[in-house]
């Protein structure tokens, strides 16, 4: 593999890392929106507001929805963390590939001189 191909590979890895970071930011926006959504049902449906069986059923449904949203909340947080870790790993891989390409340049230069002199 030539140094040019290695530099191209490093650039591809950097682009993948940037895509992971951008996706992580979008996931975190969803996470923040879910925070707001989770805060609303408690404020709107306080236990002291309603005193009927229908109200109890409504609160139970809200509790189930809230539980589901909390699970989604943690899943989204986990995905964002994994995306950040993947982006970090891709940046590290890109740096290693670029370093290998830089190390390979003198060898290619010597080969070039041997061929054309």
Query: What's 117's DSSP letter?
Result: -
**Count of the separate structural domains present in the chain:** 1
What pLDDT was estimated at residue 73? 81
pLDDT above 90 for 92 = yes
User: What is the CATH classification number for the domain harbouring 48?
Assistant: 1.10.287
Burial of 8: CB neighbours in 10 Å, binned 0-12, 13-18, 19+: middle
Mean pLDDT, to the nearest integer, of 23-51? 70
Cβ neighbour number for residue 10 with a 10 Å cutoff: 20
User: Which two tokens mark 92?
Assistant: 């590290």
- What whole-number distance in Å separates Cα of residue 19 and Cα of residue 104? 28
Distance CA 56, CA 100 (A): 66
Residue 113, pLDDT above cutoff 80: no
Residue-range definition of the domain harbouring residue 17: 3-116
**Global pTM value:** 0.61
């Amino acid at each position: 593999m030539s140094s040019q191909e290695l530099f191209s590979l490093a650039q591809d890895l950097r682009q993948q890392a940037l895509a992971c970071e951008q996706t992580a930011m979008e996931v975190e926006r969803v996470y923040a929106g879910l925070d707001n959504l989770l805060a609303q049902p408690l404020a709107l449906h306080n236990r002291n507001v309603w005193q009927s069986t229908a109200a109890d059923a409504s609160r139970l449904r809200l509790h189930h929805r809230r539980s589901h949203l909390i699970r989604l909340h943690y899943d989204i947080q986990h995905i964002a963390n994994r995306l950040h870790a993947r982006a970090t790993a891709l940046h590290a891989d890109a740096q290693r590939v670029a370093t290998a390409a830089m190390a390979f340049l003198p060898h290619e230069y010597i080969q070039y001189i041997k061929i054309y002199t």
